[in-house]
Chain A
Amino acid sequence: MRGWFLLPARLWLWLLFLAPLAIVGGYSLLTRGTYGGVELPWTFENYQRTLDPLYGAILLRSVVIAAIATALCLLLAFPLALFIARANERKNLYLNLVILPFWTSFLVRTYAWLFLLRDTGLVNTVLLRLGITSAPLPLLYNDGAVVLGLVYGFLPFMVLPLYATIERMDPALLEAAADLGARPWRTFFRVVVPLARPGIWAGVVLVFIPCLGAYLTPDLLGGGKSVMIGNLVQNQFTTARDWPFGAAISLGLMLIATGALGIVYWRGPKEIL
C-alpha cells in the first residue's frame, strides 16, 4: 500500500532528476557533433579537457565569488532574521516581504538592476545631478555587480532557515545569559550563534550551491567579463556548440558541490541531517 503512495514521488525522481542526469552523463562521454549535438565514438577526452588550468581558474573564481556572496548573505540575513523573529504580530508581514521578490521572474529583477547600475542608470544619474561625482561610477560589468546580484537574489534562502531556528529559541535563554553576566554581544556569540548553527549551515548550503552554478547574474551584471563556471557551461551548449564538454563540466561541478555537501553533513551539526 505504502509503495503506491510513493509512486508519484518515485516517478518524479526518475523522470525529472535521474533521467536527465543520465542523459548528461551519456553526452559527457560522447564526441562533439559538427553542428552541435553529440555523436559516437565514446571517449573520456571531455573530462581530460576540464583539467586544463584555464578552467581551474574559472572554477576558483566561481568558488571565491560564491563564497563572498554567501558570507555577505549571512552577514545581512542574521540581523534581519533576528529582527523578524522578535517582531511578534508583524512576523508574517515581514516574512512575506522577504519572499515577495519570488513573485516576479528572476530575469526581470536582474534586468532591473541593469537599469539601476548602468552609466545612465538611476544611481549614477542621481549622483551626477547632486554633484557628488563628476563622472559615472563603474557600477556594472564587474565582480562587484555580480556579487551584488547574487546576494540580492539568494538572500531569502539565508533568511528563512535562520529565522526558523532563531524563532524556535527559548527567549528565557537570552535572559538567562544576561542574568549570568553576559552583555548582548557575548550572548549573541555564546548562545544565539551556537543555537542557530543548523540554520546557518542550511542557509550556507542553500546559497552557496546555486551561487556556484549561477549563470544568469554573471551573464547580465558581469557582462561577459566576469565569467563564472555556469557561463562556461552555458557557452558550451550555445555558441561553442560543444555539448559533450559542457556536460562534462556540469558533472564535474556537481561532483564538487556534492563533495562540499558531504563535508557539511559529515562535519556540520547533526541536526541538519
Chain B
Amino acid sequence: MKHYPGHAAVDGISLSIPKGGFFSLLGPSGCGKTTTLRLIAGFEEPTAGEVRLHGVLVNGRRPYERNVSTVFQNYALFPHLTVQGNVEFGLRERGIADRAGRVRAVLDLVELAGKESRHPAQLSGGERQRVALARSLVLEPEVLLLDEPLAALDQQLRKQMRAELKNLQRRVGITFLFVTHDQEEAMSMSDSIAVMHQGRIEQVGTPEEVYLRPATRFVAGFLGAINWMDGFGLRPEATRISRTMPVNGVVARPATVVRTVFLGNCVHVAARLETGEEAVAEVVRENGTYAAGDTVHIYWDRSDELRFP
C-alpha cells in the first residue's frame, strides 16, 4: 500500500508475479501502475505492506541494494557517457569483473555492436531504448522493470519493438514486469496481465482470460470495445447483424443503422435498438454493406454475453 497526502496511490494490492515470464501491469494513467513499479524498484517505500523478491523481503532496501533494474520511460541514459559507458555503469558500480566481455555480449544481444563509442544524442529513439535495455540486462537482474518503454517511439517502431522485446525476454529468461496503458501492447506481449484501476487490481490472468472472461465491468471496457446492453456487455465481434430475421438459437433485436465506420479489414456498423441502446457490430465486407437508416436485426449468442456481479 502506498499513501500520498490526501490519497492512496496504490491500495490493497496483492500480486505475485511468476518467475521468468512476461508480466504486464495494464491500466489508465493515474491507476497506480507506475507507483507499483517504483515500489518494487525501491524509489518509493510502501506506507504499509511487503515487497518480496524471490521470497526475500526487500522493504527498506535502497534501489542500489535491490537486484532489480528499471528501463525508464524516457530511458534516462547518461548523456555524458558513451553507449559503452552507459552499459558499463552498473557493472562498475557492482564491482563486476570481465566488464568488456559482458558489455560486448549484451550489445550483440540488442544488436548495437559497433555503436559503443556513440553518445546517446547521436542515436535514434529505437537505439536509445536498446541501450537502456542493455544497461539493465547486463546486470542480470531478478526482475526487469519496464515503465512504458515504448511510449516515446513512433507507431511503426512501437509495433516492431513489441515483437523484439518479447523475443528478448524469451531468450534471456529474466522476469519482465512491463507497465503500459496500451491494451493492445499488453495483450500482444504478455504471458499474464494485471489490470489496474484506481490503485487496485481488477483482474489477473492471461491475455485470453482478461479479454474473453473479464472479471469486472472496468476490465471489459478497458480491454477492447464493448456494447453495454441491459445488464450485460457484448464484444463488437460477437455482435452480429442481418437484414433478415436470424435463425433460432440466438438472441435477436430489431434495430436501425445509425452510422458505419470503415476500418479497412472490417466495418463497424452502429445500430440503435428499440430500447434506445446503441450496439456496434463488426462486419466483414463479404457479409453485406449497410447504410444509415437501414432496418436490421442485431443478434448474438447467449454464451457471448459478458455478465458482472
A interface residue numbers (CB < 8 A to B): 170, 172-173, 175-183, 186, 190-191, 194-195
Contacts and interface: CB of A to CB of B under 8 A. Distances in A.
Contacts, number: 59
22 contacts: A170-B74, A172-B72, A172-B74, A173-B78, A176-B76, A176-B77, A177-B89, A178-B62, A179-B70, A179-B136, A180-B89, A180-B94, A180-B139, A181-B64, A181-B90, A181-B93, A182-B64, A182-B89, A183-B64, A183-B93, A194-B80, A195-B80
Contact of A175 (B72, B77, B139): B72
Nearest to B93: A181
Given A170-B74, A175-B72, A175-B76, A190 B64 contact: no
Most buried by A among B41, B74, B93, B135: B93
Nearest to B132: A176
A195 B79 contact: yes
Interface in B10-66: 41-43, 62-64
A186 B70 contact: no
Given A179-B69, A180-B139, 5 more contacts: A173-B76, A181-B93, A183-B93, A195-B79, A195-B80
A201 to B, nearest CB: 14
A257 B76 CA distance: 38
A191 B81 CA distance: 9
Contact of B139 (A170, A176, A181): A181
Contacts of A183: 64, 93
Contact of A186 (B62, B74, B93, B139): B93
A176 B72 contact: yes
Contacts of B41: 175, 179
Interface of B: 41-43, 62-64, 68-70, 72, 74, 76-80, 89-90, 93-94, 135-136, 139
A180 B90 contact: yes
B64 A175 contact: no
Contacts of B77: 176
Contacts of A172: 72, 74, 76
A130 to B, nearest CB: 42
Nearest to A173: B76
A181 B66 CA distance: 8
A260 to B, nearest CB: 24
Instruction: For the complex of A and B, list the 8 residue pairs with the smallest distance between their C-beta atoms, beginning with the closest.
Output: A180-B90, A181-B93, A172-B76, A176-B76, A178-B63, A181-B94, A194-B80, A182-B93
B63 A175 contact: yes
A93 to B, nearest CB: 21
A183 B63 CA distance: 9
Nearest to B66: A179
A182 B90 CA distance: 7
Given A194-B80, A195-B80, A180 B74 contact: no
A182 B42 CA distance: 13
Contact of A179 (B64, B74, B79, B80): B64
Contacts of B94: 180-181
Given A181-B94, A182-B93, A176 B64 contact: no
Contacts of B69: 179-180
B135 A180 contact: yes
Nearest to B96: A181
A80 B76 CA distance: 25
Contacts of A175: 41, 43, 63, 70, 72, 76
B287 to A, nearest CB: 50
Contacts of B80: 194-195
B79 A178 contact: no
Nearest to B41: A179
Contacts of A190: 89
A170 B72 CA distance: 12
Q: Which of B41, B74, B89, B94 has the most CB of A within 10 A?
A: B89
B117 to A, nearest CB: 17
Contacts of B78: 173, 176-177, 191
Contacts of A170: 74, 76
A178 B74 contact: no
